[in-house]
Amino acid sequence: MTQQQQDAAKRAAGEAAARLVEDGMRVGIGTGSTAAFATAALGRRIKEKQLRVVGVPTSIYAGQLAREQGIPLATLDEVERLDLTFDGADEVDSQLNLIKGRGAALTGEKVIASVSERYVVMIDPTKRVERLGARMPLPVEFLPMAAAPVRRAIERLGGKPELRMGVHKDGPVVTDQGFWIFDVRFEAIDDPEGLANELIRIPGVLEHGLFLNMATDVLIGESENQVTHLER
């Protein structure tokens, strides 16, 4: 799949997600390139259909993009439950479990997902895998002062952590929470639930990118005009 085809597939999935939003809904706004297509499509729907929608963003960047598209925003201080959240993913397995976090917004994304009645994940076909961790490393967000003990603890679990560095800045990527991220390679993630429990117990770890039993829907943009809809 070329980059142009991949972008067309992402746009198709994003537009399909936006069509699931109905008048009066409280909507979680995801982070990332596919979520950006959905955010733009939702902004257009709000204008064209005069929808009364309130969005809650998963990151600072998602909030900025939503405001640019004219989507009214709120916070979790004001909204207890969300009707629907749309977001992307880095990997999706056959059980609709996910690896997320390449956009460094995994903690906000998981919080928003946890208060959503419906969690809609949008991907292109390259994100489907038989086993989590097959292609992408697992992001782990951690307190900077705990870098050494967190690294050692991850290595004892069989992982190979690599500190995520900034592309257009010196030093590590810093999350919205002021934390750093290890991208961790595992030879195999045979027990995602067990690994998730081990990682979250490491002192200094804020969150990890295993999103298990959370997605209710997966929209796969197969092409510019075709979207496959999977439901849990």
Which has the closest alpha carbon to 121: 145, 85, 69, 166?
A: 85
Taking only Cα atoms into account, the Rg of the chain, rounded to an integer number of angstroms, comes to: 17
Counts for the chain of helices (H) and strands (E), in that order:
6, 13
Strand order in the sheet with 217-221: 54-57, 26-29, 84-88, 119-123, 217-221, 227-231
56 and 114 in contact (C-beta within 8 Å)? no
Task: Tell me if 112 sits within 8 A of 82, measured CB to CB.
Answer: yes
Distance CA 215, CA 120 (A): 6
* Residues annotated catalytic, as ranges: 109
Could you give the CA distance from residue 156 to residue 158 in angstroms, rounded to a whole number?
5
